[in-house]
Each structure stands twice: as C-alpha cells, then as structure tokens.
Structure 1
Amino acid sequence: MRVRIRTTSPPSVLLAVALLAAGCASGDPTRPTPGPAASAAPHGYVEGATEAAEQQSRLLLGDPRTGETRVLDLTTGKTHGTARRTGVTGLTTDGRFGYFHGPQGTHVLDGGTWTVDHGDHVHYYRATIRDVGELPGGPGTHIRGDSGTTVVTGPGGQASVYRRADLEQGTIGRSVGLPGIYAGPVVPDGERLIALTRDGRGPARAVVLDRDGKRVAVTHGTCEDPRGDAVTRRGVVFGCADGALLVTDTDGGYTAVRIPYGDDVPEDERATAFRHRPGGTVLTAPAGKNAVWVLDVTGRAWTRVGTGPVVAANTAGEGAPLLVLQADGALHGYDVATGKETAVTAPLLNRLPQAPAGRNTAPVIEVDRSRAYLNDPQGKRVYEIDYNDGLRVARTLELDIRPSLMAETGR
C-alpha cells in the first residue's frame, strides 16, 4: 500500500537507485569468500541486493496493542505489510535487521536496506524485506549486532553469538555460547566483542573478547552499576554511575577511558539510555525530568541542557541542534554550546506525559544524515523533520496503524 504524504514544501526528489561500480577491494572477513562470478562484488554486498547511489532508509513500525507491523520505505513512500506480532513490547535495530522483542523471544525482520561505511567511501544497498525467524530471550534480553556478528545477552548475563551471514540468508542459524556471565550487553566491535564482566562484588570491568568468547584483552576500565550502551566511531560507550566508560581500539590495543560527569549526579538524573545518529560521536540521554545530557565522545565531555519536560531526545552530532520532544507535543531545537532554544515547531502530537527512560512505547526521534523522524501513535503518522532548516516539517507520512514502535534501518 502507499501512504498519503502531505508536504509543506515541494516534494523531495526520490533517491536514485542504480548499480555502482565497485570502488574497493573484496577482502571483508565478515562475509563468505565470493566465487569467481562474484569476485567484483563490492564490500557488504549480499546476493540479491542492489547497490544504490544514495542512502536507502526504511522505518520499521509496530503497534503493540494490535500486533500490526509495517515497513515504510522513505525513498518510495510505500508501506509494506509484515506478519502480525502479538505481545511485542519493544523494537530495536542494528541498522538492517529489526528485533521485535516479546515475552517469549525476539522476532527478527530483515528491513532490506543497509549501509557499509569504509571511511573514505560508502556503499548503500536495498533488498527484499523478509521475516528471518525467532531469537531466544524474553524481557530484559539485549541484542547487539554489526556486519559480522549478532550477540544475544540474556537478563541473567549469559550471551550467545550468531553469524550475521546466516541472518542475511534468511535463517537464524546456530549459535555459539560465550563463557562467563556479563554485567550488560555484549557489544560487537569489528573482529572483537566488548563486554563488562564482574569478579566478585566490585565494579564491572571492561574486557575484549574474540568471536568465540576468548579474552584477548582486559582493560583497566571499571564501571559501577552499568546501564546504557552505544557504538560510536570512537569506540563503545557504557553508561556508569559516575558518567561513562569509553572502550576504544588504539593502534591495535584496546584502552578504556572514564568520562566522568564532573559533579555528583543523583541516580534519577543519570544517563542510562543513549540515543544518537548511528556512527555519530555525540550521544543524548534524559537527565531527569527537565533536562538532557549530551555526551561529546570525541571531546570526552558532558553537557547538561535544561529543556523542560522531556519525552524524547536525539541529535545528528557535532554542530547539529539537540532535538527534544517535550510534553507540550512540540519538537524543540537547542544549541548545545549555549543551551539556548533555537527553534520550535507547532504542537505535532497531543500533549504527552513524560516518558521514563527506556520506556519502549513512548514516541522516539530517529536521526540520519539529513532528516529526523518522529512517530505520532495517536495520529497514525510519522513526521519527517528537516533539522537543518528550523525544524521544518518536510513530510507528514500517514499510516493505517498506530506506530507506537519505530526504528530506522538503512543508515
């Protein structure tokens, strides 16, 4: 079906979809070695995929009340119906696959779009949307993935590794259990896994594992009461009682750096659930009821921005505004350096209660390189926001379900 699109400016030009010449060598260790006929395929290519000239973003959407799910293609404006998922309580993504979390397990949906970033150039792909299967784990299960590995960490701290290549072929595949118990999600980082482990009653310590779970490095970094994690270009970030712990690969050796708040922060004002543009180095998190934390990973510094009642927050990164959905239903933009409000929309959603950090069905703000997306469950719509143009509403994407859950793929 096709969504109805209302624009406040001329409609955006649809992104071109074209095969591009491969511009890099084919030695990616995270994918099977291609046969002779596929030797010219670029990094990140998967059989049946099409390379595109621009980013191919799609929104995965779900209504926990009815179990209805949709995939909204932001390039074509079309929605694709997918199987009903009853009992879904949350939705996360690794950039390609959507993970619909439920009471008994997690359903995996291939969103069919992804980006492979090589630093000096980027590949964009699109493929068929399809159901993959079920991963184990109920409430409290964390799933983290990258181009080679998907790791499922259960609420008890046990973790299992799945091959990304199997998911790309439409099957869950076999898992490899990691030895030990972990104090938070095990996070893939290239050929390594970054984890927090606890020996005795002391704080958790950051360790580096290979994909079989063997320890290859133990850092000096510790993290008291870890909650929240994020992957950035500078390394993996864990939220801790006194700030954050950054685990980064420097010339082949991993180091852990503490980024403290600088002041004592009450527990209810800690940053415990990060949101950011994928790959970006500026993170956001609620700082209690009326403020937002902004963590500059590159500068290794926290900034607390007073905003008023916070429902959701995000940012595109350095130089971009801090985006905050507040209880008045409007989207507000703030300059992080000064803390001043720079723009505000008319109320887009009905007046909202403040959402506790980590609440899975509250509206969210998804951010990519040029646009932000805000879901309006009551209005059965998604707003596309040009955050570089005074928070202009570029498109209103109307739906036939209440999109209480939303995640963006293709980034």
Structure 2
Amino acid sequence: MSLRPSRRPTSTAARAGVAIAAALALSACAGAGAGAQPAPSVTASASEEAQPHGFVEGAAELAEPQRLLAAVDAEGAVRLLDPVTEEVVELGGVGAATHVADDGRFLAVTTPDGVALVDTGVWTVDHGDHAHYYAAEPRIVGTLDAEGPVVLRSTESTTAVLAGDAALLLDRAALGQGEIVETARLEGLAPGGFAAPLGDGAVVAAPGAVEVRDADGVVTASEPCTEPAGGIVTRVGAVVGCAEGAVLAVETEAGADLERIDLPAGTDAALRPSGLDMRPGRATAAAVAGDAGYWLLDTRERSWTLVETDEPLVRVASVDDADGHVVGIDAAGRVVVHDGAGAEIGTTDPVLADALADPVAAEALSLEVDASRAYAPLAADDAVLEIDYADGARIARTLAVPSPLHLVEAGR
C-alpha cells in the first residue's frame, strides 16, 4: 500500500461549525475528580502548562458529543447530515464507492482508485470514568493505494487499516491534521480478518490464529482461531470472530491477554455469528445467527447467548442500555426491536424491503445505533430513517439527504 495525499474542497459551512464549536468549547473533565489537574512539574515547558487536559491541536472541545450522519452515495459524494438541525454539508467526492468502514471519526471509502480516507471532524475520546468530545473542520484527507474493502479501527494515537493480508498503522494525530503518516506495516494476515491498534502494534487475525504483534511485526501472544473473520472493539477489549466463537484481546501493562470465548457446545456451524455490532463504547455486541435469530456476546461475562426470532435477520446491533435493547433488520425489511429478555417489543412496516431487493443497496445497508435512536439509509428515497427503538420501533423522522447508499454515525 502506498500513500497518495489529496487536496480537499473548502467547506464554508464546516468552518462555521468549527467556529461555533470553539465558542462553546468546555473541558469534559471539569468537575469532581475528572477535571482536577496535577501541578506542573518543574521540567514542564510554558506551552505544556498552557495546554489543558484533553487538548487536541486544531479542535474545539465540547460539553457534549456532536453527532453527524456521514452519507456516501454510489458515485462517492460525501455528505454530512446534522440530525439536530437537519442541515447537510457537501464535503466533496472520492470516486465511486463500493464499501465504507469507520472508526467513529474517520471513514475509509473503497473506490476504484484506492481507499479514500475522510475526516468527519467529530469524535469522542472515552477515558472510562469521563469522556472528551471534539469538533474540527471535516476534510477529505487522501487516498491509500490499496484494495478494499478494509477494516478501520483506532486508538487515540494510532489508526489501523486492514486491507487484504496487511495492516497499515497510521499516526492518528497526523491524520487529524490532514497528513497520512505510516508508522508500521504488519503483513501475512488473514484476508477479511481483523486488526485493531494495541500499544505501538496491533491485535490481528492471522491464518489460523489471533496474534498480538509489536510495531516490528514480532508476535508477542497467540491464540488458535479457525477461519478468523470480522470483529469489533468493546469496552473490555478487541474481539475477533472465529469458527469456534471468538477470541478476546484484553490490554495489560505487559501487552495483552488473549482469551477464547467459545460458542455453546454442540452449536451448529450454520449458526456461526456474523457481523458483530453494537453501540460504541459498550461491552455487549450482537451478531446474526444464521436463520435462527441473533447472538449476544457479553465480553464482561465471556459468554454467548442465542436469541431466536420469528424471522431471520440481516443486520443486528446491541444498544447495551439499561433495558438491553437490541435493534435488527429482518429479511422482510422491517426494523425489529427486542428487549433484554429477548422479547420482541416493536417492529416497523417493511420500510427497507426495496433496499433489500436491490443487491447493491442490500450489501451496503447499515444499521447505526446510539443512546436513543437507530438510523438506516433509504438511498432510493433520498432519505435516512430515524427510529425511536425504545418507543416500539416508532419512525421518529425521515431525514432528507441525497442517495445515502452508505451511512455512518460519527462523533460517538
């Protein structure tokens, strides 16, 4: 993979948004405990002393998260929809888009010319007992000379892009300034597997195993994993899917511990979990279980639970809130909501049936969930559906945006 930075269009609306954000900037750590800053050491420079905890160059810190819906159409036009104001900002074009991956801030868009990297300009940094919320000017950063689809995952310092059998580790701070800077490259991985930054290296899916590798590619931990494919990062650690279930990588002071979380004994191979998804920053993920329903993977308890549904699901995501909401899209095109006990508590009409009938739209169809809403694209109708899943799967709004084939909720 080689790097090709690209120029970006200037967005007046985006600059205005950042100016407003700067005016509202507050420290998310203010308050008891979280906001207290230690006295500066005698060796600290004046510039270091002037920078508050959580400072990010070129960004405004906000009192609460600013969420945007990033929509990419088939031709690669990138648009940012503010669900509060319903304003749409045209960010620019990246080339015909066949797949989009994200890490909550950046998008990796697969195009015929490579993988375009887009900065949505909004993100959250979760420190466990508190969080920071940021806004900066969005931009099209550049293009990786790589073939997608890719997996994209980030920490505060590193962004990992898995393309084919190699993972490219990028300096995330530089990426936020519009520069693509490679810090390491890990090769010999499982195509279609998974990679997520860990320390100065990454946890990766290699053929037949989940491995922890340092920045030089040296394997420091390994756990067998048959047919590794897909994965997710939870509050507990990084998860890689396997034929047996999953392997969980939990970061430690010494590196990482790898733990197997096997499916219940006797599970039919046709029910292997696929498409792990959840509200970001939570501990329980959901995955489609063949034609039977869905799995819940609790990474705190290291356990799988199978929930059977009336109709097969094509997408599912765990909200992991107090009521245990799980939101899915069934094969008929309905948005279906279940509670923590697995009971169906609401369903829409088959509003996504036409999307599922179109092979291109069906492949791109996403389901984004946050703390109160779920979103799904209706590209043919130039709209995004907003679903209040806690209110019986009620369609709260239909948000207008041109041809949102691919949809991502950024800023979470």
Please give the per-residue CA displacement for 1:265-307, whole angstroms capped at 9, x wherever unaligned.
4444312321111121111121113522221111222122222
Unaligned 5+ segments in structure 1 are 2-14, 28-33
CA contact (8 A) 2:200 2:214 kept: yes
Identify which of 345, 348, 351 aligns with 2:348. 345
Identify which of 18, 24, 46 aligns with 2:24. 18
Does 2:168 correspond to 1:166?
Answer: no
Give 1:253 deviation, angstroms: 5.2
Identify which of 152, 157, 163 aligns with 1:148. 157
Does 2:411 correspond to 1:407?
Answer: no
Structure 2 letter corresponding to 1:409? A
Distance in 2 of aligned mates of 1:149 and 1:267? 35
Please give the per-residue CA displacement for 1:50-75, whole angstroms capped at 9, x wherever unaligned.
111111111111111x3332111234
Q: SS of 1:278's equivalent?
A: coil
Distance in 2 of aligned mates of 1:354 and 1:289? 18
Q: Which has the higher helix share?
A: 2
Q: SS of 2:64's equivalent?
A: coil
Q: Residues 290 and 148 of structure 1: is their aligned pair in 2 closer, same or farther, counting only changes over 3 Å?
A: same
Q: Residues 54 and 75 of structure 1: is their aligned pair in 2 closer, same or farther, counting only changes over 3 Å?
A: farther
TM-score of the pair, normalised by structure 2: 0.83
Q: SS of 1:272's equivalent?
A: strand
Does 2:204 correspond to 1:195?
Answer: yes
Give 1:225 deviation, angstroms: 0.6
Q: SS of 1:378's equivalent?
A: helix
- The residue that corresponds to 1:47 in the other structure is 57
- The residue that corresponds to 2:215 in the other structure is 211
Distance in 2 of aligned mates of 1:106 and 1:46? 26
Q: Residues 393 and 40 of structure 1: is their aligned pair in 2 closer, same or farther, counting only changes over 3 Å?
A: farther
- The residue that corresponds to 1:118 in the other structure is 127
Q: Which has the higher contact order (CA 8 A, sep 6+)?
A: 1
Within 5 Å, give how 1:6-405 maps onto structure 2.
18-21=24-27, 23=35, 25=37, 36-37=46-47, 39-64=49-74, 66-155=75-164, 157-178=165-186, 180-183=187-190, 184-198=193-207, 203-204=208-209, 206-215=210-219, 217-219=220-222, 221-250=223-252, 252=254, 254-307=256-309, 308-318=311-321, 319-337=323-341, 339-351=342-354, 353=356, 361-399=363-401, 401-405=402-406
Please give the per-residue CA displacement for 1:131-166, whole angstroms capped at 9, x wherever unaligned.
1001221134433322211223331x2232211121
CA contact (8 A) 2:22 2:61 kept: no
Give 1:103 deviation, angstroms: 3.2
CA contact (8 A) 1:56 1:74 kept: no
CA contact (8 A) 1:89 1:361 kept: no
Structure 2 letter corresponding to 1:182? L
Give 1:378 deviation, angstroms: 2.1
Distance in 2 of aligned mates of 1:96 and 1:350? 30
Distance in 1 of aligned mates of 2:79 and 2:289? 32
State the Cα RMSD in Å.
2.9
Distance in 2 of aligned mates of 1:266 and 1:390? 32
Distance in 2 of aligned mates of 1:360 and 1:149? 32
Unaligned 5+ segments in structure 2 are 1-10, 12-20, 30-34
Q: SS of 2:390's equivalent?
A: coil
Tell me whether 340-349 or 111-120 shows the greater mean CA deviation. 340-349
